[in-house]
Amino acid sequence: MLIGKVSGSLWATRKNEKLNGLKFLLVDIEEKNQYRQTLVAADNAGAGFGDLVLVTTGSSARIALDGADIPVDATIVGIIDSVEQTK
């Protein structure tokens, strides 16, 4: 999984109908204190702007949503309270 910070949201009225009802958030994935890439992730954890989140990717993103036919490849599965890391 990847750690990222929620930096925004997006609005798309014309989209695959299986995506209806999902909230999509922009997540900046961190790479050693240097932001690398912004992913769009479905929110499965009630995340908000500025939250540090845990993102799962690939086929597990669908499994997180309990929907085998929802075409997502990244889902927020947790909101991180704290990280303990030795540098």
User: Footprint of its own copies on this chain (CB under 8 A)?
Assistant: 1-3, 7-16, 18-19, 24, 26, 30-32, 35-41, 44-46, 49-50, 54, 56-64, 68-75, 77-87
Nearer to its own copies, 21 or 54 (CB): 54
CB of 19 to its own copies, least distance (A): 6
CA-based torsion, 73, 77, 82, 85: positive or negative: negative
CB of 48 to its own copies, least distance (A): 11
Q: What are the C-alpha distances in Å from 31 to residues 22, 28, 40, 66, 84? A: 27, 9, 17, 29, 16
CB of 51 to its own copies, least distance (A): 9
